[in-house]
Amino acid sequence: MEQYFERLKTCPLFEGIAEPELPGMLSCMQAHVHACAKNQAVLREGDPAGTIGIVLSGGIQVEKTDYYGNRTLLARLEPPELFGEAFACAGVQQLPVSVIAVQDSEVLLIPCKRILTTCANCCEFHTRVLYNLLRIVASKNLMLNQKIEFLSKRTTKEKLMAFLLAQAKQNGSRTFSIPYDRQALADYLGVERSAMSAELSRLRREGKIDFYKNQFKLL
């Protein structure tokens, strides 16, 4: 576990926790590392929703598949981001989403009850971790509201431009990269890939954007 301490120190859940506290804290929380290959499910829709995960290496995405097999991409996460915290804290019995590794990855899995319930030793870190978890859940809620704003746009072009403008603002630059390939971006915005690709080409011809793979520039 020690080889992951440098990464865990940068995780928002452990902000304010000194490195010497990590071994005892992770032991108290019954945290364990899980390795998963590319395209392997870390957690599946229908699994018990009591686990909080932290991406240690690689990358994962949170997705939902409807009755007809249509996939909706909810989030793409990289180290040291969290997943599963909203469902675990809400007391949902079963996960309504799946968590899939998009490359060979390692994740740290923590039973949520070990964070929410103070242990018999009254470890000092519990209060800090609970505060951090509340802030993370609130921040994720803001991100969800932003995605709802993208999806509320009527046309594919409007969805694309709202997303790209938000990415530029987030990066503080007209030139930026996005964490999605074309199919993943289409799934994230809830549009057809072919229609989205056509709109991207049209926006380039109109002189509004330029791009190469996942690198974009607003003109």
Query: Hey, is 30 helix, strand or coil?
Result: coil
Determine the distance from the C-alpha atom of residue 191 to the mean position of all C-alpha atoms in its chain, rounded to a whole number.
20
Segment 89-115 mean pLDDT: 93
Segment 56-65 mean pLDDT: 94
Better-scored residue on pLDDT, 52 or 126: 52
Output the pLDDT for position 1.
76
**In whole angstroms, how large is the CA radius of gyration of the chain?**
19
Residue 23 neighbours by CB under 8 Å, 6+ apart = 1, 2
pLDDT at 37 over 80: yes
Q: What is the mean pLDDT of the chain?
A: 91
Output the pLDDT for position 123.
67
In 3D, which of 46, 42, 50, 2 has the Cα closest to residue 22?
A: 2
Segment 74-83 mean pLDDT: 93
Residue 124, number of CB atoms within 10 A of its CB = 10
Segment 103-121 mean pLDDT: 87
Strands 71-77 and 60-65: antiparallel
Segment 173-183 mean pLDDT: 93
Residue 198 neighbours by CB under 8 Å, 6+ apart = none
Q: Measured between alpha carbons, how far is 75 from 146 in angstroms, rounded to an integer?
A: 12
In 3D, which of 195, 194, 192, 199 has the Cα closest to residue 162?
A: 199
Which residue type does 47 have?
A: D
Output the pLDDT for position 211.
95
Output the pLDDT for position 217.
96
DSSP codes of every residue in 112-130: THHHHS--TT--THHHHHH
pLDDT tens column, 2-19 = 888 988 989 999 999 988
Looking at 81-85, 113-117, 151-155, 211-215, which range is the least confident one? 113-117
pLDDT at 163 over 90: yes
